[in-house]
């Protein structure tokens, strides 16, 4: 079952759901609105490698906004830090954002019980669109869990995104491969004249 506004507020009072900063007007009937943080990142290389720590270039969104273009993956981050204990959080785009052709996540809309961090967004667009830091970007929906959770996200050794960061976090897929099979990213060497 999805938590209602009253249930979300009640669980916040108990500390089982945390959203910072909290704004009462962002609490919907059965969701909580989150906003785009000040940073975006793009991968440096055009071809990514699942076995490598792919490098990113991060930048701050200017006051006048930034135009996202089709064919480019952008990593964004929520303005809000969240903690979810005993519930499964889902991050979905707002309908107003979707109607601008902005996708805020490729496949990673579900969080885990025990997730305590900012949300990294995997953003792409259908048409060029100007975005702004602080704009509403998505909504968190909370589901009840059936049964007892043996290991929440914050306690799992295999959890790759536990380090709290206000900055977009690139893929850490390479950690799924044994160390000897991982690739080191190489930087292009300057050409000699």
Residue range 62-104, pLDDT digits in tens: 999 999 999 999 999 999 999 999 999 999 999 999 999 999 9
**Residue found by looking up tokens 């954002």 in the block:** 97
Q: Looking up tokens 């809000």, which residue turns up? A: 80
Instruction: Please tell me the distance from the alpha carbon of residue 53 to that of residue 90, in angstroms, as a whole number.
Output: 26
Is 122 one of the annotated active-site residues of the chain?
yes
Task: Please give the structure tokens belonging to residue 104.
Answer: 């805020």
Q: Which residues pair with 139 in a beta bridge?
A: 33, 92
DSSP label of 29: S
Q: Is 27 helix (H, G, I), strand (E, B) or coil?
A: strand
Q: What is the pLDDT of residues 115-170, one digit of tens each?
A: 899 999 999 999 999 999 999 999 999 999 888 877 776 766 666 787 788 999 88
State whether CATH 3.40.50.1580 applies to domain 5-146+160-169: no
Indicate which residue of 58, 92, 122, 150 is catalytic: 122
pTM, entire model? 0.86
Distance CA 99, CA 75 (A): 20
């Amino acid at each position: 079952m999805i938590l209602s506004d009253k249930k979300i507020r009640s669980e916040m009072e108990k500390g089982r759901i945390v959203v910072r900063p909290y704004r009462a007007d962002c609490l919907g009937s059965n969701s909580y609105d989150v906003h785009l943080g000040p940073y975006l990142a793009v991968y440096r290389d055009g071809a990514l490698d699942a076995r490598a720590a792919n490098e990113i270039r991060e930048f701050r969104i200017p006051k006048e906004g930034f135009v996202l273009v089709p064919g480019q993956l952008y990593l964004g981050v929520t303005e809000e830090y969240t903690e979810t204990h005993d519930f499964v959080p889902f991050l979905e785009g707002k309908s107003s954002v979707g109607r601008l052709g902005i996708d805020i996540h490729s496949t990673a809309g579900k969080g885990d019980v025990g997730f305590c961090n900012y949300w990294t967004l995997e953003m792409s667009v259908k048409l060029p669109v100007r975005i702004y830091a602080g704009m509403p970007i998505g909504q968190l929906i909370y589901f009840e869990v059936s049964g007892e959770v043996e290991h929440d996200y914050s306690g799992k050794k295999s959890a790759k995104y536990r380090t709290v960061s206000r900055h977009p976090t690139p893929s850490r897929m390479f950690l799924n491969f044994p160390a000897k099979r991982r690739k080191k990213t190489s930087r292009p060497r300057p050409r000699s004249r």
